Structure 1
Amino acid sequence: MTLTELREGGTQDLVEVSHIMEDAFDARFGEAWTGAQCLGMLSLPGVWLVIASLDGQDVGFALARVIADEAELLLLATRPSARRRGVAGALLRAVVAEAQGRGVVQLHLEVREGNDAVRLYRREGFEKVGERKNYYRGKMGQAFDAHTYARELR
């Protein structure tokens, strides 16, 4: 297995983040953000971006934010070619570590029902705490439920 390299990201990485999202998120589900949404979020206080690379190529990212003593994983994506190689797990653990370093006591995330990422979240200690019916809007107008997960960090 190739070692996943992680680095702090910034606005200079948003073009690559957009490319990763295009590859990672199936347009049928309406989960990807626009570049403008990412830029707007990244400009807010308490928001951070982690970029993952394999063999010198950026293959994934995580975007998160902290407010008071809680944090939220906003986006986590890996290119399909990098899946099942530990990239998403490394990104998630990096977000957890950063959140702990910022004094966060609980980390939240939201994921589409049926998303394979749920296995990773559960393996990393997240538990389902709620759901939003018909939250995501797909390309053809269909609705998908969102499930909310949380993990205590202390």
Structure 2
Amino acid sequence: MAVMEVAFPAEFGEAWNRRQVSDALLMGNCRYGLIGPDGTEDYGDTTETAGFFMSRAVLDEEELLLFAIAPQYRRRGLGNVLLGRFIDSARANGMSRVFLEMRRNNPAGFLYAAHGFREIGLRPAYYRTPDGSRIDAISQELTFDN
């Protein structure tokens, strides 16, 4: 939750609250991964977590619900490592594809593209900014040849 509080710009309302996260994890088809500041897998027993992902699987598809690296740990390759771990584990768990939805112009879009995600859909004017303007949401997928 500490990473969530600092990683998502408040003006887009993308961060989840503690109740939303705990409810999702209790459903049984959601999972998460943590990364420490040194790039190792974080099992929640370190003094600080640098980033996390949370996903939901349904049948042979997995959706990346949340993905974040705390601002002070960005530009160190941690997002690349964490996303790679997520993708590898989805493939190992028998998923045929993973998908995500992101705000247009999200800087993480370059990271997703580098890992092979491609745009498959658009939700026009999905996000609202404080000034009332709207931003599209972009759906992306990565398919596996299992």
* TM-score with structure 2 setting the length: 0.87
Structural RMSD (CA)? 1.4
Query: Could you tell me how far 1:150 is from its partner in structure 2?
Result: 0.3
Whether 1:91 aligns to 2:82 is yes
- The amino acid of 2:127's aligned partner reads Y
Q: Is it true that 1:108 corresponds to 2:60 in the alignment?
A: no
The CA deviation at 1:143 is: 2.7
Higher strand share goes to which structure?
Answer: 1
Cα-to-partner distance string for 1:79-138 (whole Å, 9 max, x where unaligned) = 111001111111111111111121100100011001100000000000011111122233
TM-score, scaled to structure 1 = 0.83
Compute the displacement of 1:141 (Å): 4.7
Displacement of 1:29 after TM fit?
1.3
Q: Confirm or deny: 8 A CA contact 1:52 1:91 kept in the other structure.
A: yes
How far 1:21 sits from its partner (Å)?
1.2
What is the rounded CA distance, in whole Å, between the counterparts of 2:76 and 2:63 in structure 1? Answer: 24
Deviation at 1:58, TM superposition (A): 0.6
- Structure 2 residue ranges without an equivalent (≥5): 39-45
> Larger relative CO (CA 8 A, sep 6+): 1 or 2?
1
1:50 is the counterpart of 2:41: no
Q: Which residue of the other structure, out of 48, 63, 67, is the alignment partner of 2:58? A: 67
Q: Check whether the contact 1:27–1:138 (CA below 8 A) recurs between aligned residues.
A: no
Does residue 19 in structure 1 map to residue 2 in structure 2?
yes
- 1:30 matched to which residue of 2? 13
Q: How many residues were matched structurally?
A: 137
Give the equivalent residue in structure 1 for 2:43: none
The 3 A distance-change label for structure 1 pair 139 and 35 is farther
CA shift, 1:139, in A, is: 4.5
Consecutive unaligned residues of structure 1, counting only runs of 5 or more, are 1-17
Deviations 1:43-98, CA, capped at 9 Å, x for gaps: 11221110111145211000011110111000000111100111111111111111
Aligned AA (2:3) = I
1:2-37 superposed Cα distances (whole Å, 9 cap, x missing partner)? xxxxxxxxxxxxxxxx22111111111111111111
User: What percentage of residue pairs aligned between the two structures are identical?
Assistant: 36
Which of 127, 131, 134 aligns to 2:125? It is 134
Cα distance in 2 for partners of 1:47, 1:64 equals: 5
